[in-house]
């Protein structure tokens, strides 16, 4: 580091910081989804003892849960925002078992809810009523890795962090990194088209996923497990399952292109006095860091205050209205450190940043990233959290926080804050209160969706539509596009048993 920046940049301290609470405590939602959101149950069959007996023939008694206490964690999300009352959880290990389960459920008109790590934030992986839960947690085999092509193939239930650990032994990494990587599963990641912290460098899963195997509602297995990076043979059917959240088919296997493990990683946490400075620094980082820029995250003071207040973590620089967490990844430590030093020196000379710290040692890098990754857990401990995952033009990226903060000024909210992937325009907008309030929810929705549509944004950036956003789809999609999605659903799942009440809004929709 050049002397010109040495007074500004401190070394990340040695702290035994808490790990993020990743779905270890599910809790209980205060009300059933059907009551809180006034949803009517579809015309599906009701589970019987005979159905359970049939499922036992497929997966065995040890891989079927029917006791209320055992099933409860699968019914509710960890944010306590949705809760169903499923009476049965099935844990298949193979594609053949999934096929047999779905074929039977389709013939019986039993609705099903596919579930991975249950770390979603849009209510997409929990039953709304009494759907049979199909958990992919035991479909966790790594099927192979080609170190020359960098292609990993695995079952859908593999935990993201476990895949990361496996790849590191071969000198590669996963193209996505999420705060919930200790519990989320790759099948769920693919089904929701999860974005995460590395999208600015490696792009979305629509580009990284080379192949998918999925089971349709009638039990038919669709094998699109190509491992080729160039496969132009007709319709790219895999894209139907990436982001469709289990409504068109249940993903059972994935082939994914994995980048080479970087030899050099550096992280800088920077403090800034205004959002204008954030944009200026972002633009400069893209220009000066170029090919080694792997992540750029923005956090406002309110977001990190939740981490300090509720999780007792310490931000190692002075209080600032805004923070940027910038990561570089490359193959030459001397080259990368020099580029980062030049960028920081320039940012300091131009008064873009007012304080900062940087780290290249793995333990210190982990400490800095834990600040960002623990925000969700910190906010959840306020009481109840209303979460909005939206994409916005950069000029409006933080305006959503200010607009909503003003709009909710008369209500008993604790925080209105924003953080997220400013490198790709995806902000996580959060409002917290001591307990769930219908008045607060109705003041936020559809107001924030209308505002997002007005500035040309998307109502869902990376968390999916799930259950909680299905009635907001029309703010980002035309009526004809929604009609076409319904038509596709009808072709692939004519009885509508796959993850009902999710993703697709009711027709007709008026724009």
Write down the H helix ranges in 211-252: 238-241
The span from the CA of 427 to the CA of 477, in Å, is 19
Residue-wise DSSP of 62-77? GGEE-SHHHHHHHHB-
CB 489, CB 231: distance < 8 Å: no
The first and second tokens of residue 363, run together, are 């333990």
Q: Is 112 helix (H, G, I), strand (E, B) or coil?
A: strand
The span from the CA of 166 to the CA of 261, in Å, is 12
Q: Which of 146, 5, 7, 82 is nearest to 385 (CA)?
A: 82
CB 129, CB 111: distance < 8 Å: yes
CB 120, CB 194: distance < 8 Å: no
Q: Which long-range contacts (CB under 8 A, 24 or more apart) does 286-292 make?
A: 286/423, 288/339, 288/342, 288/343, 288/346, 289/326, 289/328, 289/339, 289/340, 289/343, 290/339, 291/330, 292/328, 292/329, 292/330, 292/336, 292/339
Quick one: which H or E segment has residue 418?
Answer: strand 415-421
Q: What pLDDT shows up at residue 197?
A: 87
Q: Is 88 helix (H, G, I), strand (E, B) or coil?
A: coil
pLDDT per residue as tens, the chain (511 positions): 333 333 344 333 333 222 333 333 333 456 899 998 999 999 999 999 999 999 999 999 999 999 999 999 999 998 888 999 999 999 999 999 999 999 999 999 999 999 999 999 899 999 999 999 999 999 999 999 999 999 999 999 999 999 999 999 999 999 999 888 999 999 999 999 999 888 889 999 999 999 999 999 999 999 999 999 999 999 999 999 999 999 999 999 999 999 999 999 999 999 999 999 999 999 999 999 999 999 999 999 999 999 999 999 999 999 999 999 999 999 999 999 999 999 999 999 999 999 999 999 999 999 999 999 999 999 999 999 999 999 999 999 999 999 999 999 999 999 999 999 999 999 999 999 999 999 999 999 999 999 999 999 999 999 999 999 999 999 999 999 999 999 999 999 999 999 999 999 987 545 4
CB 426, CB 398: distance < 8 Å: no
Radius of gyration of the chain, Cα coordinates, nearest whole angstrom:
23
Quick one: which H or E segment has residue 302?
Answer: helix 301-311
Query: In the beta sheet, which residues pair with residue 355?
Result: 271
Is the model's pTM score more than 0.85? yes
CB 286, CB 346: distance < 8 Å: no
Residue-wise DSSP of 490-511? HHH-TT--BSTTSSSPPSP---
The span from the CA of 182 to the CA of 231, in Å, is 32
Q: What pLDDT shows up at residue 506?
A: 81
The first and second tokens of residue 498, run together, are 């796959």
Query: In the beta sheet, which residues pair with residue 115?
Result: 135
3 state SS for 308-345: HHHHCCCCCCCCCCEEEEEEEEECCHHHHHHHHHHHHH
The span from the CA of 68 to the CA of 75, in Å, is 10
Query: In the beta sheet, which residues pair with residue 154?
Result: 142, 254
CB 235, CB 488: distance < 8 Å: no
| DSSP symbol at 222 | E
Contacts for 69 with CB less than 8 Å, ≥ 6 apart: none
Query: In the beta sheet, which residues pair with residue 64?
Result: 90
Domains of the chain: 30-135 (3.30.43.10), 142-257 (3.30.465.10), 262-374 (3.30.70.2190), 383-465 (3.30.70.2740)
| DSSP symbol at 185 | B
For tokens 């990641």, what's the residue? 189
CA–chain centroid gap for 102, Å, is 26
Cis check: omega of the bond before 446, within 30 degrees of 0: yes
The first and second tokens of residue 94, run together, are 């193979």
């Amino acid at each position: 580091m050049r002397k010109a920046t040495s007074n500004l940049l401190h070394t990340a301290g040695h702290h035994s910081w808490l790990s993020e609470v990743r779905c270890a405590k599910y809790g209980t939602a205060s009300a059933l989804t059907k009551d809180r959101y006034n949803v009517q149950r579809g015309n599906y069959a009701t589970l019987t003892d005979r159905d359970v007996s049939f499922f036992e023939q497929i997966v065995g008694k040890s891989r079927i849960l029917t006791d209320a206490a055992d099933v409860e964690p699968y019914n509710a999300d960890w944010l306590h925002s949705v809760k169903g009352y499923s009476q049965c959880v099935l844990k298949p290990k193979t594609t053949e078992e999934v096929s047999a389960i779905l074929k039977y459920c389709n013939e019986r008109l039993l609705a099903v809810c596919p579930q991975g790590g249950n770390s979603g934030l849009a209510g997409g992986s929990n039953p709304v009523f009494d759907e049979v839960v199909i958990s992919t947690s035991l479909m966790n085999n790594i099927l192979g890795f080609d170190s020359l092509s960098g292609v990993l193939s695995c079952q859908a239930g593999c935990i993201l962090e476990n895949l990361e650990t496996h790849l590191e032994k071969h000198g590669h990494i996963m193209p996505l990194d999420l705060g919930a990587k200790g519990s989320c599963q790759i099948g769920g990641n693919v089904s929701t088209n999860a974005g995460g912290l590395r999208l600015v460098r490696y792009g979305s899963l629509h580009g990284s996923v080379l192949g998918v195997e999925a089971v349709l509602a009638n039990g038919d297995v669709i094998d699109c497990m190509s491992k080729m990076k160039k496969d132009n043979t007709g319709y790219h059917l895999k894209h139907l399952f990436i982001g469709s959240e289990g409504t068109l088919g249940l993903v059972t296997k994935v082939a994914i292109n994995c980048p080479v493990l970087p030899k050099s990683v550096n992280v800088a946490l920077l403090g800034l006095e205004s959002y204008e400075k954030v944009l200026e620094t972002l633009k400069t980082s893209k220009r000066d860091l170029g090919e080694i820029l792997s992540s750029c995250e923005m956090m406002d003071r309110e977001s990190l205050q939740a981490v300090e207040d509720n999780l007792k973590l310490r931000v190692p620089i002075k209080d600032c209205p805004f923070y940027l967490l910038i990561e570089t990844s490359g193959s030459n430590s001397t080259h990368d450190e020099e580029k980062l030093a030049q960028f920081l020196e320039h940012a300091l000379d131009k008064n873009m940043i007012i304080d900062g710290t940087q780290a290249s040692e793995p333990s210190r890098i982990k400490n800095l990233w834990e600040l960002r990754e623990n925000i969700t857990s910190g906010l959840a401990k306020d009481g109840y959290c209303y979460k909005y995952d939206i994409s916005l033009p950069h000029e409006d990226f933080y305006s959503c926080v200010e607009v909503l903060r003003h709009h909710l000024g008369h209500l008993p909210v604790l925080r209105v804050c924003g953080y997220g992937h400013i490198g790709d325009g995806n902000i996580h907008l959060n409002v917290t209160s001591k307990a769930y309030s219908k008045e607060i929810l109705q003041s936020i929705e559809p107001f924030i969706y209308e505002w997002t549509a007005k500035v040309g944004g998307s109502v869902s950036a990376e968390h999916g539509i799930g259950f909680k956003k299905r009635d907001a789809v029309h703010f980002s999609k035309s009526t004809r596009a929604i009609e076409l999605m319904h038509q596709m659903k009808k072709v692939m799942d004519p009885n509508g048993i796959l993850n009902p009440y999710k993703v697709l809004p009711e027709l007709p929709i008026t724009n």
